[in-house]
């Protein structure tokens, strides 16, 4: 939810992004956003749970320290987001040490408890209780910190969360165990308390692992631009300047093979540019003096001088980064099943424990006995099984998909993917292989000498078309001719001498589509056409999507002619020439109409759409940004990853629902027994652990989910 606006609409607003590492569930999202509701000058607060960030729009008079103080009052530490290229902090690392301590202490205390369970009494029992306390109390204090800190933050705000009953149960069980140990009592529950923390931390680590994979750092977009550029001064000298220091008016000298560090206009020179990251256009585009070029595009052929028109946060690349960030904030507001189920947990457990304590006191039981029973209720209702229901199923399903060549970066996406009923597919690199290959008819038209010369020339060039031609001719068994005086001219091609004749493999003077011209002496010039090919199993993949009830459409930034050809071959409707904002708008329209949208794309221009869709997938050949923005990445050339992923997601959600039924059934059986005083805290911990193991065992059935 957004904090209500308080200022007049014409008031200029600023946006501040704060990193909030302590957020881990939908309840935290609500608390963080509500923390700003009473702060004058704040218009809205929007949380991105996956990135653990909150974006606050506020009046200029509101300063960063005030925003951080509001979060601190709500129990959340925060810090300003730093715009650098470092990786975001891991959500797993802070939990590893508590998990290791809990596991070590639990194993040792369990070993000590074996003798007590076997009937040890007197001084032996007391000794083992004291040894258990010496190991258990420090371990509980350390391993329980994530829960204690979260619970204290909630209580300071006069609210509760799942960590409050956990903390109360752990604290009471530890305190009562210490009392029993100090007074020579027969019972102590350090073992059960440590087991409780161990399973809770294990579930939280699994969930954090999936969230770490989900982080699509916007900084990865900015890495697509060059870190700097050679800037030419008025006296003709050149000096390398970092991208952050470039300003409009400077002139960059961009060599062939370099990416642009800023937006600008060509002032001298001409070359072809690969703009596929920005537009999805598969063919290089020739650019002349006066044409606009953008940060992140690749200069292919010849050096050019470019006058900077926009740098830093004003480039087209930075605008796409902002679109991705905004889309990520919208997507992260999806409330997971586990979060919805957990909202009722804390008040329900508090009520049950309080009623149990009051009931036994009214019935005439002593305070000690009543507390033991109430603690057993708190422990036996611990949400271990509930907390494991989703992350364990996601981890097992993710492993199954990985073995099938599909990497799941965001386990939460499996939940969204299961509900998909509409798919938008990019053309270049998604429906097609994304790499131009020589036309078989063009190769068949070459005689033996022509093929040998073409192979020899192609092997002397680093151009992508030359490499593709060399691979195709080599695979056909062609042997390269012997050449002399080989020379490659940037932007023109490769030339040489063969048997005294001038030969060349160059860019054709005029051709439709992508092509190379082979010239041998006075022979007629041979035109070798290249085309991007549809993935070999695209037809089967699209048919399987249809069986799953998913309607597919092509949404591409490529030129209309190329898109129309792929549309004809696949039978899909298509929209061509779509910019990143157009793609994002198309997804928003479908979502507004009630569709759950899957976006499949591979380029930087697909980043905002991948982030805005309900679920997203990219091929392994995608740009770094495409892979980071997507929830799933499929390796190899098979488009069957799309229907395979959807089927696995639907099976996963079926198992998740079964896990919830098992967890609820366990509580329905165990809670009455605990309230009746038939369960000790130790038995409660064992029962809780057993329910967790049952959930894990059920989730393991997803091992073959990707078949």
- Residue 381's nearest CA partner among 330, 431, 347 is 347
Rounded CA gap, 277 and 485, in Å? 36
Does residue 53 sit in helix, strand or coil? strand
- Residue 519's nearest CA partner among 459, 592, 457 is 457
Q: Is 252 left (phi over 0), alpha (psi -120 to 50) or beta?
A: beta
Phi, psi values for residue 248, rounded to 5°:
-55, 140
Rounded CA gap, 656 and 24, in Å? 19
For this structure, is 426 an active site residue? Answer: yes
452 and 503 Cβ atoms separated by less than 8 Å: no
Tokens representing residue 218 in the block: 């916007």
Q: Which residue has the tokens 């039978």?
A: 571
- Residue 136: is it exposed, middle or buried by C-beta count within 10 angstroms (0-12/13-18/19+)? buried
What DSSP character marks residue 430?
A: I
Rounded CA gap, 629 and 610, in Å? 6
Does residue 647 sit in helix, strand or coil? helix
Rounded CA gap, 110 and 117, in Å? 10
Q: Which helix (H) or strand (E) holds 42?
A: strand 42-48
646 and 229 Cβ atoms separated by less than 8 Å: no
Rounded CA gap, 398 and 407, in Å? 7
- Residue 626's nearest CA partner among 221, 304, 339, 290 is 221
Sheet strand arrangement including 271-274: 285-287, 271-274, 298-299
Question: 122: how many CB neighbours lie within 10 A of its CB?
Answer: 8
What DSSP character marks residue 308?
A: E
Alpha-carbon Rg for the chain in angstroms: 32
Rounded CA gap, 422 and 695, in Å? 32
Tokens representing residue 694 in the block: 């049952």
Q: Give the active site residue among 163, 191, 263, 426.
A: 426
Strand locations in 339-419 (E)? 406-408
* Length of the chain in terms of residues written: 707
Phi, psi values for residue 326, rounded to 5°:
-65, -40
Does residue 13 sit in helix, strand or coil? strand
> Catalytic residue positions?
426
């Amino acid at each position: 939810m957004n904090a209500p606006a308080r200022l007049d609409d014409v008031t200029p607003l600023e946006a501040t992004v704060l990193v909030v590492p302590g957020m881990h569930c939908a309840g935290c999202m609500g608390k963080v956003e509500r923390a700003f509701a009473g702060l004058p000058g704040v218009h809205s607060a929007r949380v991105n749970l996956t990135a653990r960030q909150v974006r606050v729009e506020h009046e200029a008079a509101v300063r960063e320290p005030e925003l951080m103080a509001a979060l601190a009052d709500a129990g959340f530490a925060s810090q300003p987001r730093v715009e650098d290229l470092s990786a975001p902090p891991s959500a797993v690392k802070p939990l590893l040490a508590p998990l290791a301590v809990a596991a070590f202490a639990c194993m040792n205390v369990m070993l000590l408890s074996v003798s007590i369970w076997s009937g040890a009494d007197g001084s032996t029992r007391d000794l083992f209780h004291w040894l258990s306390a010496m190991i258990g109390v420090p371990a509980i204090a350390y391993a329980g910190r994530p829960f204690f800190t979260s619970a204290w933050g909630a209580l300071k705000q006069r609210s509760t969360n799942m960590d409050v009953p956990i903390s109360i149960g752990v604290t009471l069980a530890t305190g009562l165990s210490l009392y029993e140990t100090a007074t020579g009592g027969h019972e102590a529950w350090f073992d059960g308390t440590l087991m409780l923390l161990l399973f809770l931390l294990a579930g939280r680590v699994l969930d954090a692992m999936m969230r770490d994979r989900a982080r699509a750092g916007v900084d990865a977009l900015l890495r697509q631009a060059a870190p700097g550029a050679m800037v030419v001064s008025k006296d003709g000298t050149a000096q390398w300047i970092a991208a952050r220091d470039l300003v409009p008016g400077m002139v960059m000298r961009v060599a062939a093979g370099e990416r642009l560090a800023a937006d600008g206009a060509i002032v001298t020179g001409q070359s072809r540019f690969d703009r596929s990251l920005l537009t999805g256009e598969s063919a290089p585009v020739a650019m002349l003096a006066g044409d606009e070029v953008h940060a992140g595009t690749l200069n292919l052929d010849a050096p050019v001088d470019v006058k900077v028109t926009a740098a830093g946060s004003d480039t087209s690349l930075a605008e796409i980064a902002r679109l991705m960030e905004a889309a990520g904030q919208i997507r992260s507001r999806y409330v997971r099943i586990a979060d919805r189920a957990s909202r009722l947990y804390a008040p329900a457990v508090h009520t049950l424990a309080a009623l149990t304590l009051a009931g036994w006191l009214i019935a005439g039981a002593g305070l000690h006995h009543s507390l033991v029973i109430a603690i057993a209720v708190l422990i036996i209702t611990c949400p271990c099984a509930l907390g494991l229901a989703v992350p364990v199923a996601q981890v097992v399903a993710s492993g199954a998909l990985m073995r099938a060549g599909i990497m799941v970066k965001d386990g939460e996406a499996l939940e969204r993917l299961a509900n998909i009923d509409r798919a938008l597919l990019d053309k270049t690199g998604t429906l097609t292989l994304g790499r131009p290959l020589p036309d078989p008819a063009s190769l068949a038209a070459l005689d033996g000498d022509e093929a040998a010369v073409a192979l020899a020339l192609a092997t002397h060039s680093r151009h992508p078309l030359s490499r593709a031609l060399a691979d195709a001719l080599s695979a056909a068994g062609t042997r390269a001719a012997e050449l002399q005086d080989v020379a490659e001219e940037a932007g023109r091609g490769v030339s040489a001498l063969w048997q005294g004749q001038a030969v060349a493999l160059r860019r054709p003077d005029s051709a439709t589509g992508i092509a190379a011209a082979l010239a041998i002496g006075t022979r007629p010039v041979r035109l070798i056409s290249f085309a991007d090919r549809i993935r070999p199993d695209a037809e089967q993949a699209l048919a399987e999507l249809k069986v799953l009830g998913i309607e597919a459409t092509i949404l591409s930034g490529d030129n209309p002619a190329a898109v129309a050809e792929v549309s004809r071959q696949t039978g899909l409707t298509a929209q061509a020439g779509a910019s990143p904002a157009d793609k994002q708008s198309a997804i928003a329209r479908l979502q507004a109409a009630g569709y759950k949208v899957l976006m499949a794309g591979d380029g930087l221009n697909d980043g905002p759409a991948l982030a805005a869709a309900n679920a997203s997938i990219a091929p392994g050949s995608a740009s770094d940004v495409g892979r980071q923005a997507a929830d799933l990445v499929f390796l190899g050339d098979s488009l069957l990853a799309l229907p395979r992923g959807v089927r696995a997601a639907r099976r996963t959600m079926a198992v998740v629902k079964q896990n919830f039924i098992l967890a609820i059934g366990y509580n329905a059986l165990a809670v009455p027994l605990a309230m009746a005083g038939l369960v000790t805290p130790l038995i409660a911990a064992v029962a809780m652990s057993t329910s967790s193991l049952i959930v894990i065992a059920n989730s393991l059935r997803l091992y073959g989910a990707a078949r």
